[in-house]
Structure 1
Amino acid sequence: MSARLNSVQPYVVGLFRIVVGLLFAAHGAASLFGVLGGAMGTHGGTIEAGTWPGWYAAVIQLAAGTLVLLGLGTRGAALVASGSMAYAYFDIHQKAALWPIQNGGEPAAMFCWAFFLLVFTGSGAFGLDRLLARRTADQTVPAAPRAPIAA
């Protein structure tokens, strides 16, 4: 049973990455553009450009979420996303109360740990990282061995 589960692990990690990246990117798009029915902020459903920290967080959410969704630069994008959610939890939410259930920080905590996991697992299956690495490896042809030089 364990061997069977291990054989599908890259596919499950890939699906996890896609879902987490999509949800994170959608949150950023909702905050920046007021789309997807999740408009936040007060200016026409969007966060005013340059406002600290909301606008910067939304840009990170959209960019890092999209990269993670595609599996392109997954580990680096996940590290940035995890750090931004740790900041959001400790600087914004925890001031209100200790526990995430009390301070509204559950999404920030969950995203933080989900992205932290992806830093260590990588993109799994279906990622552009793997496709590009495979393509580069296929194009790299080892040089033919040279014949010894006769004296």
Structure 2
Amino acid sequence: MAERSLLAMTCVFTEESHRRIAELLDHPVPLTRSPAARLVGAAEIGGLSGRLAQMALEDDEWLPRVWSSRALGELGGSDNLEVLEQVATSDEKNRVRAAAVEAIGELRAARSEEILRAVIESDQDEGVKRTAEEALEDLQRGGFDDE
């Protein structure tokens, strides 16, 4: 409930709010880092994309990697596409790869289709493949943002 309340208030976040959310990204408890990453994406705090990228690639726990990957998709940007491609093709956890695949589709970059097709061809997990197929279908219906 508290997380939903915070998400509803993202439109009134201040610089101080952003600083405090940034601190939560480094919190020792994964169940604190995860919603903090979600808030960064929802509030579109682009200045924290580097920290999210680090979390998506290196966090020891899978849940923060999921939410940081999703947030990177919400933030957009070609730098985020590179990170998400790495996560989608190399993370050990299928849920993290699926979140990265969804985010790649959300980015709607010119290379998104190529990456999604590669995941469909190479990933061993049927759920990740299905997520990539759905993201590809959505992408093909809506085109690309960076054309």
TM over 0.5: no
Between structure 1 and structure 2, the one with the greater Rg is 1
TM-score with structure 2 setting the length: 0.25
TM-score with structure 1 setting the length: 0.25
Higher relative contact order (CA 8 A, sep 6+): 1
User: Relative to total residues, which structure has the larger helix share, 1 or 2?
Assistant: 2
